[in-house]
């Protein structure tokens, strides 16, 4: 049982917009930045979104993040087959302690 709650699965068709939610509490998401990671099959996770809604260079603007209160969301627009992966949210406090969501497996139909 992860501290941050994500739906175990999500799906969409090519070109569609998909959102993945991440629910926490006032002690984690409510008071810290949210990060999102993409993990393609058989590879290490990759940073997708940092500090709630910032994209590292090289991440397409099809990916966007938002946060409101104790919840956060990752949105993927213009869905592509290569977006099929596991997605994780995470948050850290000022003492470097962090928690991950349980992960969401995204299927592109």
Partner 1 sequence: QVQLVESGGGVVQPGRSLRLSCAASGFTFSSYAMHWVRQAPGKGLELVAVISYDGSNKYYADSVKGRFTISRENSKTTLYLQMNSLRIEDTAVYYCARHLFGGIDYWGQGTLVTVSS
The only residue of 78, 97, 107, 109 in contact with partner 1, by rule CB under 8 A: 97
Question: Distances in Å between the alpha carbon of 84 and those of 1, 27, 69, 99?
Answer: 24, 31, 28, 23
* Strand 71-76 to 98-100 pairing: unpaired
The only residue of 9, 35, 64, 76 in contact with partner 1, by rule CB under 8 A: 35
The only residue of 50, 62, 70, 75 in contact with partner 1, by rule CB under 8 A: 50
Q: How far is the CB of 14 from partner 1 (least distance, A)?
A: 26
Cα gap 74→63, rounded to integer Å: 7
Residues 73-92, interacting with partner 1 (CB under 8 A) = 88, 90-92
> Cα 20–24–26 angle (5° rounding)?
140
CA dihedral 52, 26, 10, 75 (to 10 degrees): -20
Identify which of residues 19 and 50 has a Cβ nearer to partner 1 in the complex: 50
Select the span of 13-21, 50-58, 60-68, 72-80 touching partner 1 (CB under 8 A). Answer: 50-58
Q: Which residue in 74, 70, 71 sits closest to 53, CA to CA?
A: 74
**Chain positions contacting partner 1, by CB under 8 A:** 2, 32-33, 35, 37, 43-47, 50-51, 54, 56, 88, 90-92, 95-103
């Amino acid at each position: 049982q992860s501290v941050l709650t994500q739906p175990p699965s999500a799906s969409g068709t090519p070109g569609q917009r998909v959102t993945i939610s991440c629910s926490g509490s006032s002690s984690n998401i409510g008071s810290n930045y949210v990060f999102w990671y993409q993990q393609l099959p058989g590879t290490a996770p990759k940073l997708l979104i940092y500090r709630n809604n910032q994209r590292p260079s090289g991440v397409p603007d099809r990916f966007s993040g938002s946060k409101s209160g104790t919840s956060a969301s990752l949105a993927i627009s213009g869905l592509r087959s290569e977006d099929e992966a596991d997605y994780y949210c995470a948050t850290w406090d000022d003492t470097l302690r962090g928690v991950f969501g349980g992960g969401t497996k995204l299927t592109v139909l």
